Structure 1
Amino acid sequence: MKYDHLLSSSVLLFLVASASADVTGVYTTRYTDSSTDQGQSVQMTTVIDVYVSSDDDADTVLGVFNFSLAPDAQVVYFQSASEPAFPTNTWWLPKNPGGIFDLQSVRRSDSFVTIGGVEQNVLRPEQAPGVGAGQRLDDDFANPFDLFFAYPQPNSGGWWNNTPETLAGQVGPVALAGPDGEPSGFGRGVFVGRFSYYGDFSIEGTTLEVAWNQGPGTDQQQAAFTIPPVVSVSCPSDISGDGVVDAVDLSRILAAWNSDGSSDPGTDLDEDGIVGPLDLAVLLAKWGLCS
C-alpha cells in the first residue's frame, strides 16, 4: 500500500516542492503501568510506546503504513472499559473525551495509535483529552472477527495525520529507552503509538513504513523499518511476581530470614547465601511498582 493513497486530496497539496529530511529509525520504550479503570478497578499492564527517531527538528512525520505485526505481537491489546461508544476499529485512534471518561487507564494504559499530538518532553506521554485530533486510521486496521477490535490485523495498513498543517508529527524531545527499556532521558523524535497488554509480550520484529516531510510545501519521503528488541523489564525484588514490590514480598523475606533462601527461591536477593539485612535493603530500595 502506498501512503499517497491513504491521504485525501487536501493532504496531498502539502506534499510538493523539495526537502532533505533524516528520519533515522523506530524504537520503543517499555514499562509497567498500574492505573484505575471504570468502577475503580485496577489495571496492571505492560506498556510499549513506539517512537520514530530523527536527527532533524524540521522533520514532520505524516503517517505510518504497511504496518505488519510480528507473531509475538499478535495479542489482544488492552482497551479501557470506559469507552463511551460500542467498540469499532476506531478504538485504536486516541479517544479520551474528557469528563467522566478521563480516567487513569485511558490516559496511561489504553492502546492507541497517533502521529504525534501528545505532550513532548515527558517520559510517559498521556492520552489527554483532545490528543489525536485530525488523525485517521485504515478501515481494516483491527481484526473484524474480534468483538472488541483490540487485535490489529497482522497486516494492518496504517494511520496518518489528516491535518498535516497542524504539524502534529513534528520532531521534538521524546523519551529514550534505558538499558532495560524503561524510559530514561530524552532524544529527538515523534510518538506514534502505544501497545498495552496484560502480561509479558514483545513487538520486536514488527515492520512498518514511515512517511515524512519538512512541513507544508516540501517533498514527502518514506522508508521501511523493523522494530528492534527491547530488553524485558527486570524486577528481582518482586519475589511474588505480581508486578509490585510490597508487603507480600517483605513477608517472604522475613519468613526466610537467616536461611539460605532455598525454601523460597528468590528471597536471597543479593545472592550471598543468606537471607538477611542486605536482602531487606535491596527490597526496600525497589519498593513500589516495578519499572
Structure 2
Amino acid sequence: MRLKKHVLKAPIFILSFLIFYSCTVTKKQQTKHQKPKGIFVYEAAELREEQYRNIKGAVPRLRAMMCGKFVHQILTKNEEGVIKYETWHTKDGEDSMMIYQVPVGDPHKIGYWIYNCQYLTSLPDNPVYQTFSKLEAVNRDTIKAVSYEVPEGFKLDVTQKTAAFKASLEKIEWKGLKLYNGGSVKYYERQTIIKYNGQSIMKAKELEKHKKIKYVINYSNVEMDRILFGSRYYDKDKKFLGGNNPDQLFKLAGIHPNLY
C-alpha cells in the first residue's frame, strides 16, 4: 500500500531528521586546497568513502555521515516511465527545501550532538524546523539518537566562519534542554561500516483518510552521500499495512574538519 504524504518534515534525524558529508575528524586530514572559512566543504575529495572509513568509533562515524548540507528530493516518474529522485519544490515551483545537519559542541565534554535545521530556499533566515540531536552508543552495533528542542528564540547562523559558529554555542545549557515532541528517539543499526538503518519506536497514530492505521514507525537509512526516510504503517493488531516511497536527503556539501 502506498500512502501519499501531506506534510513535509524531514526526520532529521530528523528527521528526525537526518546525505553528502563531511570530510574528516581532524585538521590533519584537510586537503591543501581547502580554505578554513565557512563550515561547509564542497570539494569532492572530502566526500570519498575512505574519509568515512578512517573515522575511529561508530558514533563519530555515524555523526559524520549524518552531517552536511542536504536538499530534499522525492521519487518522480517521467514521460518515459523512468523513476528517479528529483528535488522537491513547492506548488508554485519557486521554493525547495534545504536541510543543515551540523556537529556541535565538544564531544569530550558533552558527547556527540548535531544541530538540525530545515528551511525553504526563499526564507533562509526563518527555519521551519530546528532541533538538537544527541547520539549515544547502546551496544557495538546500535546507536540511539535522541532529539531535543532548541532554546526559545534560538537561531544558529550556519553562514558564519567556524570560530564564530563555535562561539555562538557556548551559552547553551545542554543538560537543561527539553526533549523534542515529548521524546523523539531513533535507534540506528549498523549494516556495514558506512551504512546504518534507523527507526523510531512504534507510536499510536490516527489518520483521518486511513482509518485502519493505528501505529506508525518512522525510519531513516543513512549512507555516506544520502539519507533515505519515510514511514511504515500498522493496524490495531500491529500488523504491517504498508508505507510510502522513501524521500531522500541528498548531500551537497560536507562539514569543515575544524568543527569536529
Q: Normalised by the size of structure 1, how large is the TM-score?
A: 0.24
Question: Which is richer in strand?
Answer: 2
Larger Rg: 1
